[in-house]
A and B are shown apart, each in its own frame.
Chain A
Amino acid sequence: QVQLVQSGAEVKKPGASVKVSCKASGYTFTGYYMHWVRQAPGQGLEWMGWINPNSGGTNYAQQFQGRVTMTRDTSITTAYMELSRLRSDDTAVYYCARNFPYGSKFLPGDWGQGTLVTVSS
């Protein structure tokens, strides 16, 4: 079965960077886009972008352009999301989500457990 296991919680200072990992198993890693979505405390879902694990191509939401970098390591079936120049309002749970097998490439399907990133001085 599809499993996405994310790295543990992080505490960062404003201005720092954070890199969250997402270890995939149970399917062909290079066959499905991987989305990153975040959720601030008590708030809604916010799409950050996706990476094509096969080519490494990325598509970032406009509000994160210049601050986010999505990468992957196919040898260990792991996707990464790095967010730089952190601010307090980046405090959120960050999710990776495999694109659903049916439908478009804009359809997060199976989700990781989430990684809480806290930005605080």
Chain B
Amino acid sequence: SSELTQDPAVSVALGQTVRITCQGDSLRSYYASWYQQKPGQAPVLVIYDKNNRPSGIPDRFSGSSSGDTASLTITGAQAEDEADYYCNSRDSSGNHLVFGGGTKLTVL
């Protein structure tokens, strides 16, 4: 079982804003990062260390955190943003990495 909890599925209308959340005790101590995975492809890092975007990631992706919950926000969702999204962070021991269960985003 994962120490990070995500909603299994979220939907958003094209062009609207959506927030995907990740909850876990370790997020009080460690930053979350976020990955996008499309069917049949390897994951892609979209946000690291709470709110930093790797080169090439559109600025409609942003991250935030409060208490035990981290969030990925997509402002103005596009059709190509339809994918699975995973958060990760260190576990409560701080020595290992753990992924959330993933959220399937549907863009309507």
Footprint of B on A, CB under 8 Å?
A: 35, 37, 44-47, 49-50, 59, 61-62, 95, 100, 102-104, 106-109, 111-114
Contacts and interface: CB of A to CB of B under 8 A. Distances in A.
B42 A111 contact: yes
**Residue among A95, A106, A112 with max Cβ neighbours from chain B (10 Å):** A106
Interface stretch (B15-23, B43-51, B66-74): B43-51
B100 interface: yes
A23 B43 CA distance: 18
A46 B90 CA distance: 13
A47 B99 contact: yes
Interface residues on B, range: 20 to 34
Interface of B: 2, 31, 33, 35, 37, 42-45, 48-49, 52, 54, 86, 88-90, 95-102
Contacts of A47: 88, 96-99
Ranked nearest first, the 5 interchain pairs of A and B with the lowest CB-CB distance are: A111-B42, A47-B97, A44-B102, A45-B99, A106-B97
Contacts of B100: 44
B42 A113 contact: yes
Contact of A109 (B31, B45, B96): B45
Contacts of B43: 37, 45, 95, 108, 111
